[in-house]
Amino acid sequence: MIYSNHPIALDVASYCYKNLALAGNYVVDAKRLDADGYCYEDGLIEVNESLQSPDFEIAICHEMIHAKQYENGYTCEKEAYENEYILFQQYLEDYR
């Protein structure tokens, strides 16, 4: 299940949740940050609300990939960067 305080974040994260076959509960919190985003093992994902589109949506995809990695017992920044744009493009093709 996905929860968010931002409608676009909820839309993108819900797509990623389904596409990545995630199983846990996640909260996507759009707020001012010193980075594009963070993903924590407890299911909290923070995304910098000051990012403009498409960077905002891509950051959500990136952090959702980390969520999948946490579910699988590892994290890999390189893998997240390599796949964030692919996932974002799939989102655009399927939902926009």
Query: What pLDDT does 95 receive?
Result: 79
**Can you give 59-87 as a three-state secondary structure string?**
HHHHHHHHHHHHHCCCCCHHHHHHHHHHH
Residues of the chain with pLDDT under 50: none
Rounded Cα gap, residues 91 and 49, in angstroms: 19
- pLDDT tens track for 48-75: 999 999 999 999 999 999 999 999 999 9
CATH class of the 2-90 domain in this structure: alpha beta
Query: What pLDDT does 66 receive?
Result: 98
Rounded Cα gap, residues 49 and 32, in angstroms: 6
What residues does each domain of the chain span? Answer: 2-90
- Exposed e or buried b per residue across 5-29, where buried means at least 16 C-beta atoms within 10 angstroms of its C-beta: ebeebbbbbbbbbeebebeeebbbb
